[in-house]
Chains A and B, each alone.
Chain A
Amino acid sequence: MHPAYSIIWFTTLSGAGYGLAAFLGLGLVEMKGLTAFFAYGIASALIGIGLISSTLHLGHPERAWRAFSQWRSSWLSREGVLAVATFIPLSICAIAAIFLERQLPFVGFAITVFAAFTVFATSMIYASLKTIHHWHSWLTSACYLGFATSSGFLVLVAISAPLLEADNVLGIAIFLVLLAWAFKGIWWYRADTMTSSSTPQTALGLPDERHVRRLELPHTGSNYLMKEMGYWVARKHGQKLRMIALAIGLALPILCLLMAATLTGIVAQAVAGLAAIAHFAGIVVERWLFFAQARHAVMLYYGADAA
């Protein structure tokens, strides 16, 4: 699948934003005044930039308001509705924390629930597609939720000195990073080993396993399907990129978090910030591969041996 950068930025930024918002909603650390302004501001910015980015890949963004209407059947529509709905409790808690210096536990919990469902709906846009068997699994949702949780938590730890210095918090951060990548590791294993039930024979309606060879493409030029669905990164490049994703998204953040445990003050926060940035960069690489290593069933018509 052709990796659209607007979609990659959308899912990674909004994932981190909703993760951060979810933890702010849980009220793990009391945020008031200016700190609250930064925290809620960063969450809203991550979500907002992500959502705006998602409209960039549309042919007609001026009609995007229509995308809220089909929530009964479409995960993309549900995601849109939930994304906007999350801003309601988020704004209420932000105003209360910044201007009234009050925490609202019930409204905060609503943020957490809405944020989780929004990320889940985002994952289901991809996981619900039978055509891309790599994506069609509960593991896709687990990875999206896992990375939203870990990236959001690392941002929160980096911006909140009291949280950073609290007992066990860095341990929890490391655990969340490991958990997210564990789901991703299982996802990669499944993607590498499973075969689709769609074959060149089922695509042509042939009754048995006779070998099919592409004789002529329907046109000499390229087309939308070949450009959109026909792109996939070579296996050896994909393997290298996976290693890079793990190095900057798993190894480096854990090292930074372990280092931050031995430091204090602004230096500790800076190192924790580096962990958050590195983890996020690793997720961006992972998300690029999520698209670039995916195979779509339609390519069976264009000469692919397997879906």
Chain B
Amino acid sequence: MTSLPAKTEKTLGLVIDLDTCVGCHACAVSCKEWNTGGQSGPLNDLNAYGADVEGVWLNRIHSYEVDAAEGNVGTDMTVHFPRSCLHCADAPCVTVCPTGASLKRAEDGIVLVDDEKCIGCGLCAWACPYGAREMDPVEQVMRKCTLCVDRIYNETLDEIDRIPACVRTCPTSARHFGDLSDPTSDVSKLVEARGGVALMPEQGTKPVNRYLPPRPRHVAQAAPTTVAEDDLQTDGFFGWVDSILSKMGP
């Protein structure tokens, strides 16, 4: 059903910490492995061992260089940015779907693709500003992050593993999972403490996932960006050597 539920009982989502993410891609690989072994079949790749490999990934890690903030010299930073479905409250990918394949669950807010109904028209991918949905080149249906719905309720797994694969594997604890509509949950407290933000709020999708911004960098002392000739140290033993050498030749 591609009408959105008026209210969801729980609002499950991820919180991703851009401050501690080191861009190792473990979460992307873990997601690919879990979903390739799952019931919807492999996340297909084309020309997997050839020259032009491409394939479906539900989680992709971008890396950016971000310039220093105004008046805060030397605080340029590298931001590693894991991008996957934000399970939006007002998901445009759900309402545009003509067949009912794209749905948002009322019990926990997870947005899923029913790949038995999907006709592969790709309109949901056009509707998503975050690029959460990709067409499987072999199966010709749309694929997206399932929030590991087949892990989180799976009683055959140890309790510690009943979280999304990407959260379980992150070596720097940059990914967190929980109910963001519950103000007492760990993720809600984390978002509150670190000022977690929604991405592209102007698109009106009301994303559920939150990104924790990189903590403001500061430099311990004013670090010179270039070393001028005149700044060379001119005292001590090496200063004496330098002055002898300067007098010696051109």
Contact = CB atoms under 8 A, between A and B. Distances in A.
A104 B55 CA distance: 55
Interface string B100-144: 110000000000000001111111011111110011010111000
Contacts of A80: 98
Contacts, number: 195
Nearest to B199: A205
Contacts of A69: 98-100
Interface string B190-212: 00000001111111100000010
A85 to B, nearest CB: 15
A59 B140 CA distance: 5
A297 interface: yes
| Of listed B56, B126, B197, residue having the most chain A CB within 10 A | B126
Interface stretch (A45-53, A174-182, A224-232, A244-252): A224-232
B35 to A, nearest CB: 16
Interface string A61-75: 101101111101111
Nearest to A126: B126
A282 to B, nearest CB: 25
Contacts of A68: 98
Contact of A297 (B79, B100, B203): B203
A244 to B, nearest CB: 26
A208 B70 contact: yes
A61 B203 contact: no
Given A66-B101, A206-B213, A224-B54, 17 more contacts: A57-B121, A59-B119, A59-B139, A60-B141, A67-B99, A69-B98, A74-B98, A75-B96, A198-B129, A205-B197, A216-B63, A218-B25, A218-B57, A218-B60, A218-B62, A224-B125, A229-B131
Interface of B: 1-4, 18, 23, 25, 28, 52-57, 60-70, 78-79, 81, 83, 92, 94-101, 117-123, 125-131, 134-135, 137, 139-141, 197-204, 211, 213
A129 B129 CA distance: 10
Q: DSSP class of A's interface residues: helix, strand, loop or mixed?
A: loop
A72 B3 contact: yes
A296 interface: yes
A197 B201 CA distance: 10
Contact of B200 (A60, A202, A302): A202
B119 A64 contact: yes
B66 A211 contact: yes
29 contacts: A57-B121, A59-B121, A66-B101, A67-B99, A69-B98, A73-B2, A73-B3, A73-B96, A80-B98, A129-B127, A130-B203, A131-B126, A202-B199, A203-B129, A207-B213, A210-B67, A211-B66, A212-B64, A214-B64, A215-B65, A218-B57, A219-B54, A221-B53, A221-B54, A222-B52, A224-B56, A228-B126, A229-B126, A301-B83
A198 B202 contact: yes
A67 B128 CA distance: 19
A132 B126 contact: yes
Given A59-B135, A129-B126, A66 B119 contact: yes
Contacts of B60: 218-219, 223
B150 to A, nearest CB: 23
Contacts of B98: 66-70, 74, 76-77, 80
A213 interface: yes
B129 A63 contact: no
B203 A198 contact: yes
A204 B64 contact: yes
A29 B207 CA distance: 54
| Of listed A57, A80, A204, A298, residue having the most chain B CB within 10 A | A204
A206 B211 CA distance: 10
A153 B202 CA distance: 40
